[in-house]
A and B are shown apart, each in its own frame.
Chain A
């Protein structure tokens, strides 16, 4: 497996994000695999941003700690990251900006590539932000990677600007590229990645993009959200395509309104989507309970970030699982689905809409900053389209038969499955009232003990019916393992990466990754735990929230835990080390 890792770092507002994406696409366009992760503080200017990108000819599941080539747009980047440099790793920096003194750092084998980034920019009448572009060109030269993809990407990015600007940017990249070729012996830099032959370009997308396009594929017609990291980009993605895809996008006054708009839209008969993070979801709790009560289909995405309160707005964590599980007052059926990567995000958001409309309940799809903003490459999603199932809606023929009937439509008819076919406003002979108060089969307020008992049970029965059809979680790795891992959501990536290294060393390991977390796959988890020799739970929170659910449902407990709550994602190195320590 050939692979390289690259990082660009600098203050916010210096185009780190755009550079990282462009660098990544140079390789996905060549058919290579990429994983990219951006870290940044919650501010617009200053601070420290870094984009860490990993490229390989084999599929990638996550980032790793190692850096082969580090582009320092300020001195802080070097100070913060040089410790993770690989042997003979390279540093691109501007010697006019700051000097780097290697002997004092104990990292003698670092290779310095001083490039006068600012001078090159000035000599060609460019502006400061173009230093990135010079550095991109310089980086590709060191990796011995062809220049043409970068040129195409620059042309694409600036296609709405005039030719002068396009040419200027291409020239910046080319100057950086040539500066390296002319001033250094490139072959001495050992980290290389070859352009594969005849490989098709891959797509490169974030979890937010996967969720958005998956929702569009599922026929989502209304997207409503109040901006909140890490799901803010979904609002931009939907807005960008609203006309072409015939979708209405609304940014209302707050998260209370966002979910209520979606409830109104869902009640009227379209597929509506809301996305937020923990704090916004806290505001949505009241309305979530309403959706449960009036049995309106609804899909809510919760992109987790560390709290409490404002917490670490631009960092990652997995500490909202118990909150999601217990969201909304009293008891009502809801689903929790936690995809682990972009492919699952694209696929399971489609499932979410089908479940919401087939069972008339809110479906919570959980992401986190790591998945939502991490960039993953994929060949395509051609095998990820599922059939749209609108669920039980009263038919025209049934309504025709109701002509002359003076009683309202029994929207909340008591059924064995718990699901009652709905009618939609505008339908003749189909009137009912969707009622936040406890109600009878017609929706009218009824506080009798008999009706309350029956209707409440009817609602909750839907989840029991639904649980029967859910597939068992996927188990990765060996059938017979010396160690068995359990984790949920985006932690899947670093685990699969660590498993690759452990399997190469002959460790028999497996891993269960439940995507449907509520209703909980009790039987499958119990069977996995029973068969396992040694079990390790891995979660991005302090209190082992999945562990609590496992104990609640199976009366069993994983033997060991690897927990993390520092706002950073799991690194496969940490998982590898933990597993190794448990095997000795």
Chain B
């Protein structure tokens, strides 16, 4: 039985600023859940720390609000313990491309069956507006008054190069597209990575709704014949930013998941295994 929207409603209302891009993501996650046939108790939302990482509080599923930069390994442990759960990681750009970049990159190559959503607003909001790893070069913030001197992280090409088997991008101003992308990401067998362009209305005065709206382009539409299985084309599409930002599925490949590679999980999840009657005597006898 599909979940009804009201079942996902938690008691509190989000504490995001009015107009925050996170509202669109919030709505799209819930919409996607109502359209998929997955029991509510089987979802686990695992988040980092930041404005958007408060998401698990406002979507009524099991949730684990971890530490800054650390949701990926926690989610990995959950998935290995009970691979029947639908695990969604939610973090921000600082969380995923800054402090948690090591975990992010390694997660992409492992291909656990889960979805990683990044709310990418190119700024640190919760700490009042410092630069982020995806801030545009030259971006002025309270921590970079003379403009960012570094080249921003390109999460799309990074994740493709690292081995992600489904890479997409969407825009929080387009809830319909976003809902579709979240559904596809959840349904993808393997690690799906979804970068979401998300305006921070309070601190990022450059990358606004209007700024994104003028640039977003849906991959594979009109004259664009983007092939999602073409890795080089995907990397090329990921290079476009200042004038045109591609949204949609950049890249997709079929590869066995990490869980499928573990013979120990063939009989069922680790959680389902009984701890009764475990005997290590035969192992100890081999130490003679």
Contacts and interface: CB of A to CB of B under 8 A. Distances in A.
Interface of A: 25, 28-29, 201-205, 209, 213, 216-217, 219, 221-222, 224, 241-243, 245-248, 250, 252-254, 256-258, 260-272, 286-287, 290, 294, 380-382, 388, 390, 407-408, 424-437, 443-445
Contact of A261 (B49, B77, B84, B275): B77
Given A269-B81, A269-B82, A431-B62, A264 B275 contact: no
Contact of B287 (A203, A425, A443, A445): A203
**Interface range, B side:** 35 or more
Contacts of B287: 203-205, 209
B268 to A, nearest CB: 9
29 contacts: A29-B288, A204-B287, A213-B284, A219-B278, A222-B80, A245-B278, A247-B264, A248-B262, A248-B265, A248-B270, A252-B106, A256-B102, A257-B76, A260-B73, A264-B46, A264-B79, A264-B80, A268-B82, A268-B85, A270-B270, A294-B64, A424-B271, A426-B62, A426-B82, A430-B41, A433-B65, A434-B63, A435-B65, A436-B65
Nearest to B39: A428
B270 A433 contact: no
Nearest to A215: B280
A261 B74 contact: yes
B75 interface: yes
B65 A434 contact: yes
B65 A431 contact: no
A416 to B, nearest CB: 27
B70 interface: yes
A369 B281 CA distance: 25
A156 B41 CA distance: 51
Interface stretch (B23-31, B53-61, B178-186, B228-236): B53-61
Contacts of B270: 221-222, 246, 248, 265, 270
A269 B271 contact: yes
Residue from B60, B61, B280 whose CB has the most chain A CB atoms within 10 Å: B280
Nearest to B62: A425
A217 B276 CA distance: 10
Contacts of A269: 81-82, 271
Interface of B: 11-12, 39-42, 44, 46, 49, 54, 56-57, 60-67, 70, 72-82, 84-85, 102-103, 106, 262-265, 267, 270-271, 273, 275-276, 278-281, 283-285, 287-288
Contacts of B77: 222, 224, 260-268, 272
Nearest to B259: A248
Given A222-B270, A381-B284, A431-B62, A250 B70 contact: no
Contact of B103 (A25, A219, A253, A294): A253
Nearest to B264: A246
A265 B78 contact: yes
B9 to A, nearest CB: 10
Contacts of A431: 40-41, 60-62
Contacts, number: 189
Contacts of B57: 433, 435, 444-445
Contacts of B67: 286-287, 290, 436
Residue from B46, B80, B103 whose CB has the most chain A CB atoms within 10 Å: B80
A216 B283 contact: yes
A437 B47 CA distance: 12
A252 B109 CA distance: 12
A219 to B, nearest CB: 3
B284 A425 contact: no
A246 B273 contact: yes
Contacts of B81: 221-222, 264-265, 268-270, 272
A185 to B, nearest CB: 34
A270 B270 CA distance: 7
A436 B81 CA distance: 21
Contacts of B271: 268-270, 424, 426
Given A217-B280, A257-B76, A267-B78, 20 more contacts: A203-B288, A205-B284, A245-B280, A246-B264, A246-B273, A247-B264, A248-B262, A250-B76, A253-B106, A263-B77, A286-B67, A380-B284, A390-B275, A425-B85, A426-B62, A433-B63, A434-B63, A434-B65, A443-B63, A444-B57
Contacts of A242: 264
Contact of B70 (A202, A260, A429): A260
Contacts of A261: 73-74, 76-77, 80
A213 B280 contact: yes
Nearest to A252: B73
A584 B42 CA distance: 71
Contacts of B106: 252-253, 257
Contacts of A435: 57, 63-65
Given A216-B283, A431-B62, A248 B44 contact: no
Nearest to A432: B62
A536 B242 CA distance: 73
A263 B74 CA distance: 6
B256 to A, nearest CB: 16
